[in-house]
């Protein structure tokens, strides 16, 4: 079935509803269409022709009810609601394609002045919704919940109010060729979030946003299968400029395993590659993380290039079998592997990596406590509460641009000395 929506926005919405029962292809021609929440059905393709824009309504009343489906959630603390723009709930064979634009209309919701500035992430400032205390903006914009055989290709996602594209509990997902352009100061505007999914491939994306570029999460509690792991995930060929993390792996109390991230360029980030199993100040287990590989990644203009850590003194999760290969990273803060709580990190390997300590941006002094570090932290590479950390064919380059507090190669705390092979060149900083 094929539909051409050369009509008003209400007709676009009506045709999508018709496809929800029978499947079909909805073609949106050039033009701007003001929409509220749209639900996609089985075997439905939403195709946006070049020049077509779906523009999110500035009125929260035009979006779904918070109880529209049982897996739904918002965030009181972060100020976003359980309302979304394009949704597919427990569907199969759903796709969004084309060279058009989905515009979240974030400018209708966000304020125009930074509320605060961070010392690691959001160093240029952070903006929330004007009415964030009352969850005054839509939540995740493009949402797939417990779907199978999903494809999102070639569209541009622009000015989103929260996470741009969210997959929760899905299987067999392909994402390719996305361009994401969100305000660099706008909080929670992640690019692509993959949570408790299986068999996901994301590639060839260009992301600029005010939060994380891409994330791999383990929060299955709201799913019909609350034990579902996030596994068999691949991200490749991604360029990003962000205010938080280039890629964040973690969040939740589930399981993340078998993830591969390759061929990325990360700029302007708080952290480049961030693996953390436990968040928050309240006691919780955290997410078990294993079998994650990063390779062929360049990191520039970042506060901390690499952090593998428990993240909380409450953590009880397992964290290990993490590898880094051919990483070229500049970092103002130490490259860090650190356990915490009941989490002791096991088995983190670095191969063919180049690390460059650099001065903090604009002469700022990096707050080491903000980096969740403790004690003596004057090493370019910090290892704490961790065993089995190894370096093969790695290089530490002292270019004379490091902050004065970085005085040696390694800083060790309750950790086995790392294994460093003969082909590595990780010297302590030479005397001036």
Query: For 310-361, what is each residue's pLDDT tens digit?
Result: 999 999 999 999 999 999 999 999 999 999 999 999 999 999 999 999 988 7
- What's the whole-number mean pLDDT along residues 275-298? 91
Go through the chain and tell me how many residues it has: 432
The pLDDT-based confidence of 362 (bands split at 50, 70, 90) is low
pLDDT at 370: 40
The pLDDT-based confidence of 381 (bands split at 50, 70, 90) is very high
The pLDDT-based confidence of 401 (bands split at 50, 70, 90) is confident
Distance in angstroms (rounded) separating the CA atoms of residues 214 and 205? 10
pLDDT at 398: 87
The tokens for 258 are 């078998």
pLDDT of residue 365 exceeding 50, the answer is: no
pLDDT of residue 404 exceeding 60, the answer is: yes
The tokens for 26 are 């909805």
Residue whose token pair is 């191969």 = 351
pLDDT at 22: 66
Q: Model-level pTM?
A: 0.93
The tokens for 213 are 């570029």
Cβ proximity of 41 and 34 under 8 Å: no
The pLDDT-based confidence of 374 (bands split at 50, 70, 90) is very low
Cα distances from 62 to residues 58, 132, 261, 299, 323, in angstroms, run 8, 18, 37, 41, 46
Cβ proximity of 403 and 379 under 8 Å: no
Q: Which fold has domain 2-420?
A: Pectate Lyase C-like (2.160.20)
- Give residue-wise pLDDT tens across range 321-331: 999 999 999 99
- What's the whole-number mean pLDDT along residues 150-170? 98
The tokens for 378 are 């004057």
Cβ proximity of 329 and 306 under 8 Å: yes
Least Cα distance to 419 among 357, 347, 352 occurs for 347
Cα distances from 217 to residues 22, 63, 152, 168, 207, in angstroms, run 33, 26, 19, 9, 19
- Give residue-wise pLDDT tens across range 21-66: 567 899 999 999 999 999 999 999 999 999 999 999 999 999 999 9
């Amino acid at each position: 079935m094929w539909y051409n929506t050369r009509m008003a926005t209400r007709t676009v919405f009506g045709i999508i509803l018709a496809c929800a029962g029978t499947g079909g292809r909805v073609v949106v021609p050039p033009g701007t269409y003001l929409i509220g929440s749209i639900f996609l059905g089985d075997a439905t393709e939403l195709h946006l022709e070049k020049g077509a824009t779906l523009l999110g309504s500035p009125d929260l009343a035009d979006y779904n009810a918070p109880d529209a489906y049982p897996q739904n959630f918002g965030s009181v603390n972060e100020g976003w609601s359980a309302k979304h723009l394009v949704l597919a709930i427990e569907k199969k064979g759903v796709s969004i394609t084309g060279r058009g634009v989905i515009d979240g209309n974030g400018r209708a919701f966000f304020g125009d002045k930074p509320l605060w500035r961070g010392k690691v992430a959001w160093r240029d400032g952070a903006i929330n919704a004007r009415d964030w205390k009352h969850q005054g903006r839509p939540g995740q914009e493009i949402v797939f919940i417990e779907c199978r055989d999903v494809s999102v290709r070639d569209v541009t996602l622009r000015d989103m109010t929260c996470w741009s594209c969210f997959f929760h509990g899905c299987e067999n997902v392909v994402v390719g060729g996305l361009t994401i352009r969100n305000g660099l100061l706008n909080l929670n505007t992640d690019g692509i979030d993959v949570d408790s999914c299986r068999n996901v491939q994301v590639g060839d994306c260009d992301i600029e946003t005010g939060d994380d570029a891409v994330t791999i999460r383990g929060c299955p509690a709201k799913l019909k299968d609350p034990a579902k792991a996030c596994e068999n995930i691949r991200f490749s060929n991604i360029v990003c400029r962000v205010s938080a993390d280039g890629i964040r792996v973690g969040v939740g109390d589930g399981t993340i395993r078998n993830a591969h991230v390759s061929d990325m360029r990360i700029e302007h980030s708080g952290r480049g590659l961030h693996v953390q199993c436990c968040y928050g100040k309240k006691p919780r287990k955290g997410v078990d993380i294993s079998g994650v590989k990063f390779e062929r990644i360049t990191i520039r203009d970042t506060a901390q290039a690499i952090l593998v850590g428990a993240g909380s003194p409450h953590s009880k999760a397992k964290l290990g079998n993490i590898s880094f290969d051919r990483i070229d990273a500049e970092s103002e803060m130490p490259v860090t592997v650190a356990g915490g709580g009941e989490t002791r990190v096991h088995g983190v390997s670095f191969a063919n990596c180049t690390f460059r300590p650099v001065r903090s941006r604009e002469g700022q002094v990096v707050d080491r406590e903000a980096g969740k570090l403790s004690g003596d932290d004057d090493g370019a590479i910090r290892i704490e509460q961790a065993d089995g950390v190894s370096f093969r064919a790695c290089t530490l380059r002292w270019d004379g641009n490091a902050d004065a507090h970085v005085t040696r190669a390694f800083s060790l705390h309750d950790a086995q000395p790392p294994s460093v092979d003969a082909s590595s060149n990780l010297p302590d900083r030479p005397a001036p």
